[in-house]
Amino acid sequence: MLKGKDIIDASDLNKLDVEELLILAENIIENPREYADTCKGKLLGSLFFEPSTRTRLSFESAMLRLGGEIIGFSDPDSSSVQKGENLPDTIKTVASYTDLIVMRHPKEGAPRYAADSTDIPIINAGDGGHQHPTQTLTDLLTIKQAKGKIENFTIGLCGDLKFGRTVHSLIKAICQYEGIKFVLISPEELQIPEYIKGEILDKSKSEYREVERLEQVIEELDILYMTRVQKERFFNEADYVRLKDSYILDMEKLKNAKEDLTILHPLPRVNEISVEVDSDPRAWYFKQMRFGMFIRMALIMKILGEE
């Protein structure tokens, strides 16, 4: 039961919750008009303390398409945060007007802290380099649409695996499915954090290996999940400049890839996928961002108990 629940971390959704959300999202894709008034009279608080295009606009579109309404900000400097108001007071304020809050924050743990200051549900729309659970739902819906199932794949996660919160959430969720093998492709400096290896991959007995070169493994992948090097999480500009173009997926690199490879990217991209790849049928990342709206419609409905 997701009604009234906070979604802070990928582990707040069990496999059954995810299955139900995927089924509902697929139903919404097929019959969007049937859901047009589902959240009439409900109000979503949309609080983005950090920039976003897809997550914010897909949540807001989702609520509007369900017949609900939205208040919030996309720039905290336009709110009383700029005057020094603390996070719990901001959350209490918005919670007194709304039924559900979606928030993104640069500090890891901020959504959990926010959830402790209110009784209305909080959805984490990304906290620092930590978690982005609704991107994971988006990724799982895209995999289901592309492959028809979520089991028995070799998935390559490529790029900034250290700071990439979408990767951390995705590993946590997808390791619950059978027969998933991970290939973790990154420069040494951007390898997956030890706690993900110890607490998630090792604990779930997932098969994984770490490599530095994409060319070395591309032919064995069923899914390739590209990520951006997270400039905003670096302490040092020189390190970012040195690492930012570590991986650029182009048609040359795809020459050895499977014909039914599914290429995903949470977006935004900077340089890591060449635009020539966009028209390849294996590129699913623009469909993926649209699926994000449908899965968020499903999540809002379930959390508000408006099925």
Q: How far is the CB of 142 from ligand CP (least distance, A)?
A: 12
Q: What is the DSSP letter of 197?
A: I
15 is catalytic: no
* Angstrom distance (rounded) from CA 247 to CA 274: 10
Q: 295 to each of 21, 79, 203, 290, 301, how far by Cα in Å?
A: 7, 29, 28, 9, 10
Contact 60, 134 (CB under 8 A): no
Give min distance, CB of 83 to ligand CP, in A. Answer: 26
Helical H runs in the chain? 15-30, 54-65, 87-95, 110-115, 133-147, 165-174, 194-196, 237-243, 251-254, 285-304
- Of 132, 144, 172, 302, the catalytic one is 132
72 vs 44: CA distance, rounded Å: 8
Q: Which of 24, 38, 46, 54 binds ligand CP (CB under 6 A)?
A: 54
Among 232, 222, 269, CA closest to 249: 269
Q: Binding segment for ligand CP among 33-41, 46-54, 193-201, 209-217 (CB under 6 A)?
A: 46-54
Residue closer to ligand CP by CB (options 55, 145) is 55
Spot the catalytic one: 54, 144, 165, 265: 54
Binding piece for ligand CP, criterion CB under 6 A, among 171-179, 230-238, 265-273, 274-282: 265-273
267 binds ligand CP (CB under 6 A): yes
Q: Which is nearer to ligand CP, 63 or 217 (CB)?
A: 63
Q: How far is the CB of 268 from ligand CP (least distance, A)?
A: 6
Sorted by sequence, the CB contacts under 8 Å of residue 210 that are 6+ apart come out as 184, 185, 186, 191, 192
Pick from 35, 136, 266, 294: which binds ligand CP (CB under 6 A)? 266
Nearer residue to ligand CP within complex by CB, 35 or 59: 59
Active-site option among 38, 42, 55, 244: 55
**Catalytic residue flag (residue 227):** no
54 catalytic? Reply is yes
Instruction: Report how far residue 114's alpha carbon sits from residue 109's, in angstroms, rounded to the nearest whole number.
Output: 9
In angstroms, the CA 102 to CA 123 distance is: 5
DSSP state of 117: T
Instruction: Based on the shown chain and the rule CB under 6 A, indicate whether residue 131 belongs to the binding site for ligand CP.
Output: no
Residue with tokens 């020189």: 238
Q: Least distance to ligand CP from the beta carbon of 219, Å?
A: 27
Radius of gyration, CA atoms only, the chain: 19
User: Could you tell me the two tokens for 66?
Assistant: 């369900």
290 is catalytic: no
- Using the rule CB under 6 A, is 270 a contact of ligand CP? no
Residues in binding contact with ligand CP, number by CB under 6 A: 9
The answer to whether 55 is a known catalytic residue is: yes
Cβ proximity to ligand CP, 67 vs 106, nearer residue: 106
The residue (of 217 and 293) whose beta carbon lies closer to ligand CP is 293
* Cβ closest to ligand CP, residue 217 vs residue 283: 283
Q: Does 230 sit near ligand CP (CB under 6 A)?
A: no
Q: Which amino acid is at 147?
A: K
Q: Write the burial class of residue 305 (CB in 10 Å: 0-12 exposed, 13-18 middle, 19+ buried).
A: exposed
> Could you tell me whether strands 223-226 and 154-158 are parallel, antiparallel, or unpaired per DSSP bridges?
parallel
Q: Does 53 bind ligand CP (CB under 6 A)?
A: yes
**Active-site residue set:** 54-55, 83, 104, 132
Residues in contact with ligand CP by the rule CB under 6 A: 52-55, 126, 135, 266-268
